[in-house]
Structure 1
Amino acid sequence: MAGRPAPIDCARERPRLHPLRVTHRTLGGDVSDRVRAWARDQGHPVSDRGRVARVFVDAFLAAHPEAWDDAVAVLRHDYADDQVSYAVDGRLVTALHPRHPVDRHGADPDGLNRHLRELGVDPAAHDSLDNPHQMALALASRVTGVVITLADLRRPVLGAELRGG
């Protein structure tokens, strides 16, 4: 029908197998306002207050990839080094080895130290952690606000290479 917005199906069933979303963005007021304005421009009714529906946020970010600021990636590898990487605006800020968090690099190697301390990890200690994978996932959850469950870990996961500048 002419003049009507394309439908966004908020209630569609998710496929049984889908990639784990490993990035998360907490929207500030300015981005929430941009999402609301964009959704209205598309002809969708959006409230002025409260949380913006995830379907509108996802559609907005797909149409405006420049709105993404940061990402956290957790690499678990069977025969190579595991790694946690934190990037902002496509630039590696901090990367660390989960078993040996003192082994850090990036534009700001100490950028995640506050989160490490809050998890009970001394970023200056040369210790070897007994639970590196759990610590890596807890660190990613603390940075992003996304809680990763065992069910998430049973799904296929997509990944991409982040090249250093």
Structure 2
Amino acid sequence: MAFDLESLSEATSGAIGALVSTTILYPLDTCKTKYQAELRARHRQKYRNISDVFWEAISSGQILSLYQGLGTKNLQSFISQFVYFYGYSFFKRLYLEKSGNKRIGAKANLLVAAAAGACTVIVTQPLDTASSRMQTSAFGKSEGLWKTLSEAHGARHLMVLAYPFF
């Protein structure tokens, strides 16, 4: 199989689209993540709903903290969409070449999409877990990506969170 400029173009377009949407929606994602993390913690609830998180950030003068972890999330989103679109195109082309078919059927399309999705998750789950840890840290107290990845429990702890089946 030769280098495929069309697959590269689709993958890049998907990745850039992910960057734009992730950046625009990130404060909402941070509020949702902090709210969900608190619900799972089973201690005295500080937030009644997602908007409480938002209003706390405003009232404490930490509105920019709603963007803590954005760089990591953007990296994760970019890589995720790039890998998915490129993987999908690659597996689809591989299937068509090996099968000799001109078109891909619904079942084969689902398998190709699942294979691309599996590759994407394997590659990007640690970054997703790291960005969630950054989002759930106290307002203004988020560490950078490398610090988050190398904390006391470090990579082993992050790998267990990202891949609990190992």
Say whether the fold is shared (TM-score over 0.5).
no
* Higher share in helix: 2
**TM-score, normalised via structure 2 length:** 0.26
